[in-house]
Amino acid sequence: MITRFWAESATAVATMAFGLIIVYGALEFGIGWDSSGPQPGAFPFYTGLLVALASLGTLALTIGRRIAGNAGLQESFLDAERFKRVASFFLPLLAFVVLSVTLGMYVATILYLVFAMRFQGGYGWLPSLATAFGAAAFFYLALEKFFQIGLLKGPLEPLLGL
Amino acid sequence: MKNLCIAAGLAAASVSFAGAAQAWQPTKPVEFVVTSGPGGGTDNFARVIQSIITKNKLFDQPIVVVNKGGGSGAEGYVYGRQNKSDPHRVIFGTNNAYLLPYVAKLGYKYSDLTPVAALALDEFIIWVNGSAPYNDAKSYIEAVKAKPGTFKMAGSQSKDTDQTLTAMIQLATGAKWIYVPFQGGGAAAVQLAGAHVDSNTNNPNENVGQWKAGQVKPLCVFSPVRLAKSDPVFEGKGWGDIQTCKEAGLPLETFQMPRTVWLPADVPADAVTFYADIMEKVSKTPEWQEFVSRTAQTGRFMKGKEFADFVAKDDAANAKVFEAEGWVVK
Amino acid sequence: MDNVASLMHGFSVALTTHHILLMMAGVLLGILVGVLPGLGAPNGVSLLLPLTFSMDPVSAIILLTSLYWGALFGGSTTSILFNIPGEPSSVATTFDGHPMAKQGRATEALSFAFLSAGFGAMAGVILITLLSGWVAKFALKFSSPEYFAVYFMTFASFIGLGGASPLKAIVSMGVGFALASIGMDSVSGNVRLTFEFDALLGGVSFLIAVIGLFGIGELIITMEEGLKFEGVQAKVRISDVLRTAAKLPRYWVALLRSSLIGIWMGITPGGPTAASFMSYAMAKRTSRNPAKFGKGEPEGVIAPETADHAAGSSAMLPMLALGIPGSATAAVMMGGLMIWGLNPGPTLFTDRPDFVWGLIASMYLGNVVAVIVVLATVPLFASILRIPFAIIGPIIVAICFIGAFTVASKSFDIWLALAFGVVGYLFKKLDYPIAPLVLAMVIGDKAEDAFRQSMIFSQGSLSIFWSNALVSTLMAIGVVLLLLPLVGMIAQRLRGRTAQSTV
């Protein structure tokens, strides 16, 4: 079980890291103030710094509350059951993205929709396949044919002559 | 290093034109990669060509236009690098194709592109506010020289054509402006009309609306010859009545921006010939000529050696300014 | 009134069967691009542009502007139904629109959104009709310091609005600012914060962030709760639409205030997105029940929608009269104007009255057509919610990712959308306000540019922000907006009360 304390702390550390990366990236361009106003790095530098400091503040506040025995922080952020639900949604999302960049977006859409409907939604093969191919066909016609925007394609589409 | 790249491009171009057999044809939809956002000058350039090709059925495959204007166009050229040897991606740009790598670290080199053709030259004019007391370039420059660092010159973003031209004028005449970069020529035009700045170096098309209303006036054009005659725009004066800057006594003759077409590196020589021929046909259509005259550009088709020579010369002239101004990134 | 006579002439130009059909086609296409996140009005307009080269300019602009109205309406639809803003300017509509849909009041939310949007658009067009000359002159007074002051006002109206931890609000806004500064910096000509990573050259698109933070983040939360959309109405009847319409006049104060904010942001460079945020903020601040906002308050839908459309339509004026595009879509249309041989500028009104007044008349007609068309689609869209979540959920996922890709045809953006989804989930669960992040991304880089341009003007002196009556007034309003909530907060603290509200 993840408590709220750990979720708060980890997020604060992550935003702090983000802020510091921005600070580091901004240093390249000069952060001072010259005759024509702030140098190109100044705005990113100070926003990065602000993010890092505010994150540090959140972290300190969270730890302080924990020491003071704040009950809210002991509450569950994500218990086992919820974690399972989030993971069972998020992992297919990740798979969708990986499939999109390897096999193309149409194949990824079809596989993902079939998987989600057949195995997670409990629908039969026929409605699952019909929805998946219907959606892919709609995207193909609307984007590729009508708006002339090509989606990512993988090795399969050329074989089908699309 | 840079000159080596240009030489390589030149070599590639001349090889392309050596084997000019009409063998290559597009076999799938052709992507027109636009190195500006929607609505920008390069965007109009590519879309007009798209419509001319489609209307006159110059080739059979459909054309898809994609805007990749990030990093002032670098995004489109990087895309060209990523699609090395794919002759179905035609990239539209300006002289930024070979100038951008000087001034910023952008993830592509000029040698990642194969030159195809240029179709037009966009002109640059010095404009001042309509109620300013100057009627010729000479007196304006003298006024700027008298009070260095107080006059404001507006233009598009830093280290781009407008600021390069401003730097050239400064180097040639000894005048000194405060250069204020805006998001584009349109914003620079309005700032001048509202008298927030003293001058800009906009292309004719970017300032014509304000000129018609008498809010701004042209002083001289950086072209070897006067612009083509046109209908009067304001108070009886048309494009052809604007003095060239040489006539006006400025020690700076030419500054023009080519509208260019490129392919990725390592494409078949036949494909380069194919697109160059298509572009040549486009440049002869009445629709194209109408577009060029309406936007007061100078129609000039260049391909092969002529284009490569132009690029080499333009590259050298700009590089000199970049060096002098300290803009070159290491 | 010369303008009214010209307008009547414009109606005679615009009011033909051919043009009405074009309007309907444009609106329907617009709804389609508006509904798909990522694909927005600028894409739709640039797609149709080549078609218009062979049309006469009046017909062409009617088609393109109708598409724009349609897209604005379509964008609100997905905001309300799925928490996915189809257009940047409909982000603020999600704050109360989506909660309403979740409570089973989708029909009401959609009807309020469309009707108030229509009202806002009309207000904008009426302004153009009556005050075009004056506004064009006024807008010429704006330079970089005034631009900065307008952005400052927008931020000021939004800061201190939420009841979330101020530290978290600062993190959220700072992250937005930082993301906005990635890519080409036009003031210096440098490419910033890309870490030599090609995919970041074009910056981080605000649309990708919105798709991830709102669309995917919301889906993850819905899944975690194990919830489906609750309390979906058994039947959607056209009478619900009419009943909502009858309730609209009650919100006349909100309608008027939002129209004014929208028009103001449309003719100054704020733009529709900033207008909708500011209008939402002002509605919440002036409300007697600010605590209801964010939980399904109709005024929280009406305010941003009215301002969005008022700004969208009044932004056409600076485009025509000055050649300043007030939005990304207007920039594409301006490209079209030039290709058609029309040069935007002060004389366009006198040179081509047929075109200008035909366009203005078509804006009246086009918006009426648009409202009728979209209201007719309300039952259709609202019934989408009756599709089981096991089907519609995955389809929304696919639409989000495909939408993310269509923004710039970059596979990196799909990863980015997923990452933003995780951020959206964490931020929402940990009570980080997301709105400041989005607002900072929309106008952060513009505000920075305007500030630095001002500093170039003044050679580094801040006094330029008090250098004339216009900019001083704008800055003063901004400072007052900034300080008011602080004063209020201190007063409440002194009285020992705790403020409870969230964005």
Q: Tell me which CATH homologous superfamily contains domain B125-241.
A: Periplasmic binding protein-like II (3.40.190.10)
C 75-94: CB under 8 A from B: none
Q: C350-355 long-range CB contacts below 8 Å, 24 or more apart?
A: C351/B212, C352/C57, C353/C6, C353/C9, C354/C9, C354/C10, C354/C13, C354/C58, C355/C57, C355/C58, C355/C61
Rounded Cα distance between B178 and B194, Å, is: 17
| Calculated CA dihedral for residues A38, A41, A42, A43, nearest 10 degrees | 110
Judged by CB atoms closer than 8 Å, whether chains meet at C456 and A37 is answered as yes
In this complex, do A51 and C406 lie within 8 Å of one another by their Cβ atoms?
no
Q: Are C87 and C113 in contact (CB under 8 A)?
A: no
Comparing B158-172, B265-279, C129-143, C294-308, the range with the smallest average pLDDT is: C129-143
What would the pLDDT profile of A23-60 be if each residue is shown by its tens digit?
Answer: 999 998 889 988 788 999 999 999 999 999 999 999 99
Query: What H or E segment, with its residue span, contains residue B218?
Result: strand B216-221
pLDDT band at C235 (very low <50, low <70, confident <90, very high): low
Whether residue C501 is contained in a domain is answered as no
Residues 6+ apart with CB under 8 A from C489: C160, C499
Nearest to B123 by CA among B161, B92, B88, B173: B161
Chain-centre distance of CA B301, in angstroms?
14
Residue A104 Cα, gap to closest chain C Cα (Å): 10
ipTM entry: 0.96
Handedness of CA C359, C365, C368, C373 (dihedral sign): negative
Give the number of other CB atoms < 10 A from CB of residue C4.
10
What confidence score (pLDDT) does residue C163 get? 65
Chain B residue with CA closest to A149: the answer is: B64
**How do B63-67 and B30-34 pair as beta strands?**
parallel
> What's the pLDDT score for residue B39?
75
Query: Higher confidence at residue B275 or residue C347?
Result: B275
Q: Three-state DSSP class for C446? A: helix
To the nearest whole Å, the CA of A148 is away from the closest chain B CA by 6
Selecting from A51, A58, A100 the residue whose C-beta is nearest the C-beta of C175 gives A51
pLDDT in tens, A62-116: 999 999 988 878 888 888 889 999 999 999 999 999 999 999 999 999 999 999 9
- To test the contact with chain C by mutation, choose from A4, A73, A89, A148 the residue with the greatest count of C C-beta atoms within 10 A, namely A89
Looking at residue C160, what is its pLDDT? 67
- Structure tokens, B99: 């100038």
Question: What are the φ and ψ backbone dihedral angles of C336, each rounded to 5 degrees?
Answer: -60, -45
pLDDT band at A122 (very low <50, low <70, confident <90, very high): confident
Among the partner-chain residues C192, C414, C451, the one whose CB lies closest to the CB of A29 is C192
In angstroms, the Cα distances linking B120 to B45, B168, B298, B313 are 9, 22, 6, 16
% of chain C at pLDDT higher than 90: 47
What is the per-residue burial (b if ≥16 Cβ within 10 Å, else e) of A16-37? bebbebbbebbeebbbeeeebb
Q: How many Cβ atoms from other residues are within 10 Å of residue B37's Cβ? A: 22
Q: Which chains touch C (3 or more CB pairs under 8 A)?
A: A, B
Q: Find chain C residues with C-beta within 8 A of A120's C-beta.
A: 390
pLDDT at B18: 43
Q: Kindly report the backbone phi and psi dihedral angles of residue B238, in degrees, each rounded to the nearest multiple of 5, phi listed first.
A: -120, -175
pLDDT bin (cut points 50, 70, 90) of residue A126 is very high
For A:2-61, CB contacts with C below 8 A are: 4, 7-8, 11, 15, 18-19, 22, 25-26, 29, 33-41, 43-44, 47-48, 50-51, 54-55, 57-58, 61
Separation in Å, CA of C452 to nearest CA in chain B: 9
Average per-residue pLDDT in chain A? 91
Angle, helix C412-429 to helix A80-103, in steps of 10 degrees: 170
Alpha-helical (H) ranges within chain B are 2-18, 41-55, 74-82, 96-103, 137-146, 161-173, 185-193, 204-212, 269-284, 286-294, 304-325
Q: Which of A51, A85, A117 shows the shortest C-beta gap to C171? A: A51
Structural domain harbouring C68:
2-494
Handedness of CA B234, B240, B245, B247 (dihedral sign): negative
**pLDDT(C470) > 80:** yes
At A123, give phi and psi (nearest 5°): -85, 165
**What pLDDT digit, counting tens, does each position of C61-111 carry?**
999 999 999 998 988 998 998 888 878 889 999 999 999 988 888 889 999
3-state secondary structure string, C22-54?
HHHHHHHHHHHHHHCCCCCHHHHHHHHHHHHCC
Mind listing the pLDDT tens digit for each residue in C185-201? 989 988 999 998 889 98
Q: For an interface test with B, which of C186, C459, C464 has the most B Cβ atoms less than 10 Å from its Cβ? A: C186
Inter-chain contacts counted by CB atoms under 8 A, chains A and B: 8
**Backbone φ, ψ for residue C82 (5° rounding):** -125, 5
Which of B64, B67, B159 best probes binding to A when mutated, by most A CB atoms within 10 angstroms?
B64
Lowest mean pLDDT among B182-186, B274-278, C280-284, C446-450: B182-186
Instruction: Assess contact for B189 and C323: CB atoms under 8 A.
Output: yes
Q: What value does the mean pLDDT take over residues C420-443?
A: 93
Mean pLDDT of chain C: 87
Asked if B100 and B158 count as a contact pair (C-beta separation under 8 A), the reply is: no
| Whole-structure pTM value | 0.91
C-alpha distance from B57 to closest chain A C-alpha (Å): 18
* Whether the Cβ atoms of residue B178 and residue B150 lie closer than 8 Å to each other: yes
DSSP tag of A142: I
Which residues numbered 125-144 in A keep a CB inside 8 Å of some CB on C?
131, 135, 139, 142-143
Bridge partners (DSSP) listed for residue B257: B122
Q: Where do the domains of chain B lie?
A: 2-122+257-325, 125-241
Report the length, in residues, of chain C. Answer: 503
SS3 content of chain C, % helix, strand, coil (to 5): 75, 0, 20
| C22/C24 Cα distance (integer angstroms) | 5
Intra-chain end-to-end CA distance of chain B, in Å: 12
- Contact status of B251 with chain A (Cβ, < 8 Å): no
CATH superfamily of B2-122+257-325: Bordetella uptake gene, domain 1 (3.40.190.150)
What secondary structure does DSSP assign to C53-120, as a single string? TTS-HHHHHHHHHHHHHHHHHHHHHHHHHHS--SSGGGHHHHHHHHHHHHTT-HHHHHHHHHHHHHHH
Q: What is the pLDDT of residues C354-402, one digit of tens each?
A: 899 999 999 999 999 999 999 888 888 877 877 888 888 899 999 999 9
Q: Rounded to 5 degrees, what are φ and ψ at A86?
A: -65, -45
B178 to chain A, closest Cα gap in Å: 9
Q: Is residue C502 part of a domain?
A: no
Number of residues written out for chain B: 330
| Res B21: pLDDT | 47
Q: How many domains does chain C have?
A: 1
For range C277-300, the mean pLDDT: 92
Listed in sequence order, the residues at least 6 apart from B224 whose beta carbon sits closer than 8 Å to its beta carbon are B244, B246, B253, B254
Least trusted range by pLDDT, from B308-322, C331-345, C422-436: C331-345
Q: Do domains B2-122+257-325 and B125-241 have the same CATH topology?
A: yes
Q: Is C66 a member of any domain?
A: yes
Residues C241 and C110: their CA atoms lie apart, in Å, by 9
Burial degree of C218 (CB within 10 A; 0-12, 13-18, 19+) = buried
How far apart, in whole angstroms, are the C-alpha atoms of residue C166 and residue C168?
5
Q: Rounded mean pLDDT of C119-143? A: 89
User: C500 pLDDT band (50/70/90 cuts)?
Assistant: very low
Q: How many C-beta atoms surround the C-beta of residue C330 within 10 A? A: 27
Q: Is B57 exposed, middle or buried (0-12, 13-18, 19+ CB in 10 A)?
A: exposed
- Given a cut of 70, whether residue C124 has pLDDT beyond it is yes
Query: What stretches in chain B show pLDDT beneath 70?
Result: 1-22
Touching A (3+ Cβ pairs <8 A), the chains are: B, C
pLDDT score, position C503: 42
Residue B232, chain A, CB below 8 Å: the answer is no
3-state SS class at A45: helix
